Amino acid sequence: MILMRTAGLTHVYDKKPVLKDINLEINNSEVFAVIGPTGAGKTTLLRLLDFLETPTSGSIYFDGVDVTGSARLRVDIRRRMSFVHQRPLVFSMSVYDNVACGLRWRRQRRDVIRRKVDNALEMVNLAEYRERNAKNLSGGETQRVAIARALVTEPELLFLDEPTANLDPISTAKVEEVLSRVIRERKTTIIMATHNMAQGQRLADRIGVIVSGEISQIGSPNEIFCLPANMEVAEFVGVENILKGVITGKEDNLVTIRINSSAIQAISDFEIGETVYALIRPEDITFTLAKGRTSARNVFEGKIIKIAQVGPLARIEADCGFPLLGVVTKRSADELGLKVGSRIQASSKATAVHVIKRWA
Amino acid sequence: MLAIWQGFLKAIELIITLNPEVLEITARTLVISISSTVIATLMCLPLGSLIHFNNFHGKRTLINLVQTFYSVPTVAVGLIVFLIFSRSGPLGFMELLFTPQVMVIGQIILIFPVILGLVIAALTGVDPAAYETAIAMGASQFQATTIVIREARYAIYSAVILGFGRAISEVGLALMVGGNIRGYTRVMTTAISLETSKGDIILSIALGLILISLALIINFSLSRLQQRWR
């Protein structure tokens, strides 16, 4: 069942469009992540959906009701939602009072407030901080107060705007753990904006990619990361092998793409003569030293031109007539004796190559 | 110098022995000044919020104008209030001139710009995200405004204390519209002024000491309040 829907949502700041024709449908109990580069319009979208700003045009429906026009209705509906900001502001009062604010504004009974606040503080592991002045907490603790404050009102829809953007890895892990519990135990509908793709992948049921104020693609995390709809999405989700080519052959759905002097095979519906991009994720590239037999459809001979270590992984750049980037574990790279100048054989399956249309 | 020292000791004696005249003047001074401060604060909080939370043409000019009136001379306010409430003035029919009530009115006019200007400054000093955070948490506009005022409370306390300080320490207005009538409109500042001119410095020193003590007590209380949550 659809909880929130937008129709033709457009927003303009200083004559500059920041959101263009946004059409979204958010289902009940769903976690929907809005990902996109900084400045793409993610926060503006969340602010419009929480009625903190009024859209220049378009409509927002909550539970089937058009909420866009009525100020009174907006307040009522906003009380069924909560918002956790990127840099949450806590009020200069105790942690307990900060979390209790929303309930007091909803005129709940004192004993109900006490019970709910205690539960919320337990949930975010801040029970022992209840009497502390919230202004004196660390960034991670402040974020957890903000989450407790948002959860305590038992919202039907929770907005999270970059909930871990300014946190260290340990605090990020704690906040994600809390969010995972909320998703698991409360079945709250969540719309989260993040530029952390891995976080979106970990927490979301569906992802919408927003680029330059427009929704470029909506799909499951797997679709977004493996089958990006266009160049912008591909670049944003970390597809680093983006190869320009032309389809020169087709047999059923197996197409041959000419890239410089090489050819790549992929599964695609495009026809012969169409100009395309072949997208291959670095982790789908396999390297071997000697020429050997492989079941992979695409095998390229080449030479390593750069090796960079990233944590436990080694990023290997090879010249195969076109630049090709792959990732192997540092240990594998050592065992294979990969070094700059080594002749290698790079391979990938035809199914690992995603083909998108290239407009001239 | 000896005379001043002796006067100082006698003044302390007057305070310790709870001299009825000293007590009566002090009580009246406090009632008038606290009344004017409370009324002015009750007027300035909503008005200051209204100005702060709304954008309108001429807002900056209005704030500048309010700030200009911070240093308006007390005798100028006294003269205006005198003219308004004198028998031939527009509010002369109320027969309030030379009463404690008109002194309260005069002091409200005197401290109104100070408290209003500082309330606006205090609200401006609060992170703008506070209002929006409250709105996002489901607060109504009134509830969100209240939380912002709460966030600005220490700066607002300072504004109120400053207003009270100006009210309790002014002399020109109290003389002009109160008339310094013994047992009725005589307050500490007018009494000090009169007794000093008469050469009775003992009462003047006693009242002066009380005035300074009041200022100290109020300032210490404010500091303690501010430190409590730091």
Chain B residue with minimum CA distance to A160: B136
A208 and A263 housed in the same domain: no
In angstroms, the separation between the Cα of residue A125 and the nearest Cα of chain B is 21
Domains of chain B: 2-229 (1.10.3720.10)
Q: For residue A106, what pLDDT band results from cuts at 50, 70 and 90?
A: very high
pLDDT number for residue B11: 81
For chain A, the 3-state helix, strand and coil shares in percent, each to the nearest 5, are 30, 40, 30
Q: Which residues of A touch B131 (CB under 8 A)?
A: none
pLDDT number for residue A164: 86
pLDDT number for residue A70: 78
pLDDT number for residue A215: 95
In angstroms, the separation between the Cα of residue B154 and the nearest Cα of chain A is 11
pLDDT number for residue A116: 96
Q: Which residues of B touch A133 (CB under 8 A)?
A: 229
CB contact under 8 A, B138 and A89: no
Give the residue-averaged pLDDT of A171-196.
88
Site from A78, A105, A117 to mutate, B interface, most B CB atoms within 10 angstroms: A105
Q: For residue A34, what pLDDT band results from cuts at 50, 70 and 90?
A: very high
In angstroms, the separation between the Cα of residue A239 and the nearest Cα of chain B is 37
Give the residue-averaged pLDDT of A179-199.
88
A174 and A290 housed in the same domain: no
What is the rounded distance in angstroms from the CA atom of residue A243 to the CA atom of residue A322? 8
CB contact under 8 A, B137 and A91: no
Q: Which residues of A touch B139 (CB under 8 A)?
A: 101-102, 105
pLDDT number for residue B123: 97
CB-closest option in B127, B132, B143 to A105: B143
CB contact under 8 A, B140 and A75: yes
Q: Which residues of A touch B (CB under 8 A)?
A: 50, 52, 75, 78-79, 82-83, 85, 87-89, 91-93, 101-102, 105-106, 133, 149-150, 153
Chain B residue with minimum CA distance to A79: B138
pLDDT over 70 (residue A213): yes
In angstroms, the separation between the Cα of residue A25 and the nearest Cα of chain B is 21
pLDDT number for residue A307: 92
A225 and A83 housed in the same domain: yes
pTM (2 d.p.): 0.80
A187 and A249 housed in the same domain: no
Chain B residue with minimum CA distance to A51: B136
A231 and A248 housed in the same domain: no
CB-closest option in B127, B132, B138 to A153: B138
A10 and A154 housed in the same domain: yes
Q: For residue A205, what pLDDT band results from cuts at 50, 70 and 90?
A: very high
B65-106 pLDDT per residue, tens: 999 999 899 999 999 999 999 999 999 999 999 999 999 999
Q: Which residues of B touch A (CB under 8 A)?
A: 127, 129-130, 132-140, 143, 147, 150-151, 229
* Contact present, B158 and B222 (Cβ < 8 Å): yes
A98 and A32 housed in the same domain: yes
Token representation of residue A268: 């695609």
From A235, A252, A269, the end of a domain falls on A235
A107-137 pLDDT per residue, tens: 999 999 999 999 999 988 899 999 999 999 9
Provide the CATH number for the domain around residue A76: 3.40.50.300
Q: What is the mean pLDDT of chain A?
A: 90
- Please report where in the chains the tokens 């009750």 appear, as a residue: B42
Q: How many CB atoms lie within 10 A of CB A16?
A: 8
Chain A residue with minimum CA distance to B130: A89
pLDDT over 70 (residue A290): no
Cβ neighbours for B100, distance < 8 A, ≥ 6 positions apart: B28, B31, B32, B178, B184, B185
B9-31 pLDDT per residue, tens: 888 888 888 889 989 999 999 99
A225-274 pLDDT per residue, tens: 888 998 889 988 888 899 999 999 999 889 999 998 889 999 999 999 99
A220 and A262 housed in the same domain: no
pLDDT number for residue A5: 95
Tell me how far the alpha carbon of residue A41 is from its chain's centroid. Answer: 13
Give the residue-averaged pLDDT of B37-64.
96
What is the rounded distance in angstroms from the CA atom of residue B35 to the CA atom of residue B41? 10
What separation in angstroms does the CA of A180 have from each of A124, A186, A199? 11, 10, 11
CB-closest option in A93, A105, A133 to B138: A105
CB contact under 8 A, B137 and A101: yes
What is the rounded distance in angstroms from the CA atom of residue A204 to the CA atom of residue B91? 71
Residue type for position B152: A
A and B: number of Cβ contacts within 8 A: 52
What is the rounded distance in angstroms from the CA atom of residue A117 to the CA atom of residue A147? 12
pLDDT over 80 (residue A88): yes
Chain A residue with minimum CA distance to B146: A105
CB contact under 8 A, B137 and A87: no
Does residue A102 sit in helix, strand or coil? helix
Provide the CATH number for the domain around residue A252: 2.40.50.100
Chain B residue with minimum CA distance to A94: B229
A259 and A205 housed in the same domain: no
B172-210 pLDDT per residue, tens: 999 999 999 999 999 999 999 999 998 888 888 888 888
In angstroms, the separation between the Cα of residue A78 and the nearest Cα of chain B is 6
pLDDT number for residue A12: 95
CB contact under 8 A, B138 and A78: yes
A222 and A244 housed in the same domain: no
What total number of domains does chain A contain?
2
In angstroms, the separation between the Cα of residue A329 and the nearest Cα of chain B is 45
Site from B137, B156, B157, B225 to mutate, A interface, most A CB atoms within 10 angstroms: B137
Poorest-confidence range of A68-77, A130-139, A330-339?
A68-77
pLDDT number for residue B100: 97
A249 and A223 housed in the same domain: no
From A202, A235, A268, the end of a domain falls on A235
Does residue B37 sit in helix, strand or coil? helix
* Domain range enclosing A294: 239-357
pLDDT number for residue A192: 95
pLDDT over 70 (residue B229): no
From A212, A235, A258, the end of a domain falls on A235
Q: For residue A94, what pLDDT band results from cuts at 50, 70 and 90?
A: very high
Token representation of residue A348: 């990938």
pLDDT over 70 (residue A291): no
B49-60 pLDDT per residue, tens: 999 999 999 999
pLDDT number for residue A292: 67
CB contact under 8 A, B139 and A101: yes
What is the rounded distance in angstroms from the CA atom of residue A222 to the CA atom of residue B44? 58
pLDDT number for residue A262: 87
Phi, psi at residue A157, to the nearest 5°? -135, 125
A226 and A243 housed in the same domain: no
